[in-house]
A = this chain, B = another copy of it.
Amino acid sequence: MKDVLDLEIPTYDDMLAAHDRIKPHIRRTPVLKSDYLNELTGADLHFKCENMQEPGAFKVRGASNAVFGLTASEAAFGVATHSSGNHALCLSYAAGRRGIPCNVVMPRTAPQAKKDAVRRYGGTITECEPSTSSREDTFAQVQARTGGEFVHPYNDPRVIAGQGTCSKELIEQTDGLDIVVAPIGGGGMISGTCLTLSTLAPQTQIIAAEPEQADDAFRSFKAGHIIADDAPHTIADGLKVPLKDLTWHFVSNHVTDILTASEDEIVDAMKITWKYLRQVIEPSCAVPLATILKNKHVFAGKRVGVIITGGNVDLDNLPWTRKA
């Protein structure tokens, strides 16, 4: 692990600059509330609906900040990345808006809806095996061939500064929050949340939510150093990737706690989100609500922001109708 002094840590001003840069390319997504979910949890929940971004996920923020921050000469060869899905399609979307190429490496097991969207936005997909090692090897070949600017899905200061704009809006759209909960995979959204709230609302607690079956961030947090698993199995396909040095910096310094949920609890939270918010969300994005329902004592009586990170789901293949 690199020493923290070697890291290019994004600042609050970087986040403010990112927001100005990306505003024409993203939506200021609405914040939904539900009396029934408030009754069910005892908390005052505010759902920031990033599933309503044009490409269906918060990652359009970081991707747009990276793409539109490139100089013309940097942008000439386009951008390239590896991603379990949403970063791939959001980077394709941002690159498409700027009119530059986008090459992405995706696991062959990534959801069809996400692969379709990458292609619709003009991205080029190279498939790899569903493991961190295969993904990184394949990507090295693609980048060598294309020369595209590498935009890491989360361990990139431009991306983290972009993701931080989400909680800036969330704070502006509410009357203050005691806790913000977001899912954690590689830690990009959580790091952006830490970046923004540690300056804008330092009294607000930041809780990360993770699948039990991909709980490397939870174990890292308890151990005090990064623990990375290769190819964990969980329905929350967006949360399988490990923390990296830059996101670990934010997680280890600013996160209050990490809570986990089982596969069944995640699917139940998806169903409840549909029933009461009428939003169909990805399993990854249901993990925060799953942890709230499981740990009501932590959230009861609190003003809680919940980041609904994305909605790219195969409607014809929902987890509760899927053939075994």
Contacts and interface: CB of A to CB of B under 8 A. Distances in A.
B316 A320 contact: yes
A278 interface: yes
Interface string A292-324: 000000000000000000011001101011000
A315 B54 CA distance: 22
B320 A318 contact: no
A145 to B, nearest CB: 30
Given A316-B321, A318-B315, A54 B36 contact: yes
Contact of A280 (B27, B30, B32, B315): B315
A278 B30 contact: no
A126 interface: no
A274 B315 contact: yes
A92 interface: no
18 contacts: A27-B32, A30-B30, A30-B52, A32-B52, A35-B54, A51-B278, A52-B277, A52-B278, A274-B315, A278-B279, A278-B280, A278-B311, A280-B280, A315-B315, A315-B318, A316-B318, A316-B321, A321-B321
A177 to B, nearest CB: 19
A51 B30 CA distance: 14
Contacts of A112: none
A34 interface: yes
Residue among A35, A280, A320 with the highest chain B CB neighbour number at 10 A? A280
